[in-house]
Amino acid sequence: MAEVIILGSANSIPDERHENAHLAIVGQQEFILVDCVGTPIVRLQQAGLDFKRLRHLVLTHFHPDHVSGVPLLLMNMWLLGRRQPLFLYGLEYTLTRVKWLMDAYGWQTWPDFFPVHFCEIAEQPLAPVVETEEFRLWASPVEHLIPTIGLRVEAADGGVLAYSCDTQPTPSVVELARGADVLIHEATGEAVGHSSARQAGEIAQEAAVRRLYLIHYDVRSDPHALIPQARQTFQGEVALAEDFLRLTF
């Protein structure tokens, strides 16, 4: 079965036990990294993931708590001898700013740097992102403060995972998650560009998913209080997406 590892669960303010929200979609041959923060090489090692198996990096949007680790990941992999290409996916808005960020570090002058291929995701519902022997990924725009995507992942064995990323309640997440085994939905709180746990439950119920995991929550309060809030509106299994949690789908 396919697996997802929660590499971080916090909203924009992490603490010593929680990194900013990002995750890895793991197969037998390789893994796909979704967003990139902190000190990525160390985080991957802590999760038992070898960066040499990373070929695809998907960036959901250009906010620091989702992309701040990109320059360090690229530099560290280069210094550790990487030579195989990396494919980096995102909306045009996101990729343009990642290139600006890397240009600020003068990465074009780094000798013998491995190839990085920027792959633009169309800003439309269920746009294809990447297809491997083990996974197929689609993306749809969601409702955040800047252009942002949610994801649908289908494994070769039929398992389905959906990830809302940062968004207020929107029909596009319902379609991404339709009939999924697992929906990972943000629970920052009810605000412009964000959702509460109760609203995440409503989305999960409408999409008829089997399991709902709450992510991108305030780790300075009591995150476990979010679970009964989501259960008010969702009849399936609800849990927190905690750091280093491993889920099959």
Specify the pTM.
0.97
- Tens of pLDDT, residue by residue over 137-154, are 999 999 999 999 999 999
Residue 134 has a pLDDT of 96
d(CA 91, CA 187): 23
Residue 132 has a pLDDT of 95
Average of pLDDT values for 121-130? 98
Average of pLDDT values for 207-222? 97
Residue 92 has pLDDT above 80, yes or no: yes
Contacts of residue 106, defined as CB under 8 A and 6 or more positions apart, other chains included, come to none
- Tens of pLDDT, residue by residue over 225-235, are 999 999 999 99
- The domains located in the chain, with CATH, are 3-248 (3.60.15.10)
| pLDDT range class, residue 246, cuts 50, 70, 90 | very high
Instruction: State the pairing for strand pair 31-34/22-26.
Output: antiparallel
Residue 1 has pLDDT above 80, yes or no: no
d(CA 201, CA 207): 10
pLDDT above 90 covers what percent of the chain?
Answer: 99
